[in-house]
Homo-oligomer: A and B are copies of this chain.
Amino acid sequence: MKLYKKSDDTSYTLGVFPTIELLKTRPKDVVRVIVHSSIEKNNGYPLIQELCQQYHIHIDIHDKTIDKLSPKNNCFAIAVFKKYRSQIIDGNHVVLVNPMDMGNMGTIMRTMLGFNYTNLIIIRPAVDIFDPKVVRSSMGAIFHLNIQYYDSFSTYYKQFQHHEFYPLMLKGAKNIHKVSTNHIHSLVFGNESCGLPDEYLEYGQSVFIPHTSYIDSLNLSMALGLTLFHFSKGMFIDQSVLRNQFE
């Protein structure tokens, strides 16, 4: 096995936890599972074995492959999977315009899943979501999301014009604390280092997150987390509703 390249047809998980998430959510895409001989001690291994048996997936014990693919030598399991296309559905969306940071992307996926935003639109050029670094930092959240790339924002915008659009911008017109909605919406975020260009002020209701002037801006994953927390408040304010829906 070779280190991942963007042009490959397959990618792989690194670690027991994302491997379990993959086996649970997309077993048909798994090509094979490779484990380190020392995995026997790991609590998650019985579940990996059970899922692999259930879906007739072969487990190889092969320390050299693990050592080669695992950057920090702290990984006991790898699942090789066919890269798949998922399709967003109509519902609340998160739109990332030109995201480039792999670690951020994983955190974002995990935060989205936490606040029940399961549709992610990525406007190219952008990071490769199937890079093992993204898969790993998402802790498997990637397998629960519908993710679709678009070549331009305007193509996406035309398709979902019935949404309310909220571009998050330092120059945004409205304080997030004064924004609320029950309508289907798209939350739009710019690139990690430069944010959204000014033209996005024209799409829907631009929003800013107020903070002191001691810092230039919040980082992307933090801004996204705060925004999802704010916009999903209605869904989470009543604990009993939450328990019914998600537990």
Please give the residue numbers on chain A whose beta carbons come within 8 Å of chain B beta carbons, in ascending order. 107, 110-111, 113-116, 139, 141, 144, 175, 177-178, 209-215, 218-219, 221-222, 225-226, 229-230, 233, 236-237, 239, 242, 245-247
Contacts and interface: CB of A to CB of B under 8 A. Distances in A.
Contact of A222 (B210, B225, B247): B225
A139 B216 CA distance: 11
Given A177-B236, A222-B221, A247 B213 contact: yes
Nearest to A221: B222
A123 B107 CA distance: 27
B110 A213 contact: no
A147 to B, nearest CB: 15
Given A175-B236, A212-B246, 5 more contacts: A114-B212, A115-B211, A139-B215, A210-B242, A226-B229
Nearest to A211: B114
A139 B214 CA distance: 11
Contact of A107 (B111, B141, B144, B219): B219
Q: Is the interface of A mostly helix, strand, loop or mixed?
A: helix
A24 to B, nearest CB: 11
A7 to B, nearest CB: 28
A109 to B, nearest CB: 10
A85 to B, nearest CB: 21
A221 B139 CA distance: 17
24 contacts: A107-B219, A107-B222, A113-B212, A113-B214, A113-B215, A114-B212, A114-B214, A114-B218, A115-B212, A141-B214, A141-B215, A175-B236, A177-B233, A177-B236, A177-B237, A210-B236, A210-B242, A213-B246, A213-B247, A214-B246, A221-B222, A222-B222, A225-B225, A226-B226
Nearest to A229: B226
Nearest to A217: B114
